[in-house]
A and B are shown apart, each in its own frame.
Chain A
């Protein structure tokens, strides 16, 4: 418990430090909200007036203080370029990404655990070797290649899903759902390969342990062996990977979303960066950081819950 509290405090400090660094870093980039808004048509006078209106002429320290004060109060800021509150831009996209991530997680994680178990248990089967090779390939290829292949196969050759999504960012769930499949499948392939291999390695490892051998000598049948002895012991490392992959599903989706023009947070980040909309870039970076920090704490605590050996040593 003491350990957990220390990690939370340390992560909070890391978050604050990185938030300040990000603010100063993004601020140091050439261009601000006003130059982004006015583009190449902005005369010096116009840009100056715009800066005055939005208090961009204050020093970095003053603006950092204002910005962090607003952030603590839950105000994410205002995008001059898009003339909208940042929260109003982000929330619908975050929902879209969350739906996509949930679909991907529901497809990938349960199947990865089952397939990993079977592959670890029956490594000599032909199908095991084939699935294993597939997972190596899936883990090596970049997402945009997987995305393009899935699009070609599942949308053009066998037209099951729509390819590029055409929908407003605030589409209803019913409108959203058909567009979610292909990007979600792309992400699912990546995390399936990753978590399946972890599960397989973990099962292989557990199988060689003395307690499994002794259970086998006692004449335990296969069903009970898997349910009582192998799965509980093999899960902890997989839980860790699942937590980290889950975080990646929320924050690592730029390429996949761009590939399908899916209106999520990753797509928004790329748009904001190409528009040089600094006010919008910062909250997205901070969101990614927060997810990363929370998930790594969550991963370690979950492992403790699942693994009794770690629990007792901590007391």
Chain B
């Protein structure tokens, strides 16, 4: 017991990267693993425990839990990658422009960022998804726009500290235009500083989408998605607790591994 507590699993590099590797492997290769179909329903085998045919049992519609579990991270991961890319693009460009331009442009952009930060994210997401349909593309763009403001804020301050550094001054003295300085000197360096922030953002977006699915407004049935699987199976927890424990373990291990990797850097 003592060694178990002493073993800091959040700081063990090998463990973190093998968990991340496992998730990458599963997310990329799930469709090619010759698993049973995620949608085929076996009405003769509802809510069964683990067996040779169904390694983790079946859900309330007789679908194979193991197969759904391995596919269940893909929708959130795709959306999280897309939304993070959008938020980085917008956030870093706006943030570094604000810092580079200074003056009233900086002031105006900062106010816009503050305004966006005050918006109630989850309510907006629910509204968008309820009124415009649960389209992954719309949700990615919406998530990307909403999560751009924290990135912009960090990018702005990172750029400001960069601007005081010698190599930027040299670039300016050499007569570089603002745009060439932005793309040549600022962005490549801001990117390095921003990694932590972006990785954190990625997990938040992932969890936001899972929470939406849990509320019934993210992934729509019969898509296998961890949040949705948890929501669908909660009423059957007494009969087969694996139905909720398995997706919880997948979601938790993925998010904790990303978090631990970020802390490690």
| Contacting residue for B248 out of A31, A149, A254, A259, CB 8 A | A149
Q: Give Cα A252 to B107, complex, Å.
A: 30
Q: Give Cα A156 to B248, complex, Å.
A: 17
Residues in A whose Cβ lies below 8 Å from that of B90? none
A14 pairs with B118, CB closer than 8 A: yes
- Scan residues 97-144 of chain A and give those whose CB is less than 8 A from a CB of chain B: 126, 129-130, 133, 136-137, 140-144
A217 at the interface (CB under 8 A from B): no
A294 at the interface (CB under 8 A from B): no
Q: What's the least CB distance linking B264 to chain A, in Å?
A: 13
B174 at the interface (CB under 8 A from A): no
Closest to B213 in A: A144
B contact residues, range: 35 or more
B6 pairs with A129, CB closer than 8 A: yes
Give the contact stretch, choosing among A169-177, A206-214, A269-277, A299-307.
A269-277
Residues in A whose Cβ lies below 8 Å from that of B248? 145, 148-149
Tell me whether A140 and B256 are in contact in the complex, defined as CB-CB below 8 angstroms, given that A133-B10, A145-B230, A255-B211 are known contacts: yes
Q: What's the least CB distance linking B59 to chain A, in Å?
A: 15
Give the contact stretch, choosing among B18-26, B123-131, B146-154, B162-170.
B123-131
Interface SS of chain B: helix
- Interface size of A by CB at 8 A reads 42
B2 at the interface (CB under 8 A from A): yes
Residues in A whose Cβ lies below 8 Å from that of B241? 152, 156
| Contacting residue for A151 out of B6, B131, B216, B237, CB 8 A | B237
A154 at the interface (CB under 8 A from B): no
Q: Give Cα A203 to B245, complex, Å.
A: 36
Closest to A136 in B: B10
Q: Which 6 A-B pairs have the closest CB atoms?
A: A142-B207, A144-B214, A29-B131, A273-B126, A130-B5, A273-B130
Known: A29-B127, A140-B256, A148-B244. 4 other contacts (CB 8 A): A129-B8, A145-B252, A152-B245, A255-B211
A-B contact pairs, 30 of them (CB 8 A): A14-B118, A26-B127, A29-B127, A126-B2, A133-B9, A133-B10, A136-B10, A136-B256, A136-B259, A140-B259, A141-B255, A142-B210, A143-B211, A144-B211, A144-B214, A145-B251, A148-B248, A149-B248, A151-B234, A152-B237, A152-B244, A156-B241, A254-B126, A255-B122, A269-B123, A273-B123, A281-B127, A285-B123, A289-B118, A293-B118
Interface residues of A (CB under 8 A from B): 14, 17-18, 26, 29-31, 126, 129-130, 133, 136-137, 140-145, 148-149, 151-152, 156, 251-252, 254-255, 258-259, 269-270, 273-274, 276, 281, 284-285, 288-289, 292-293
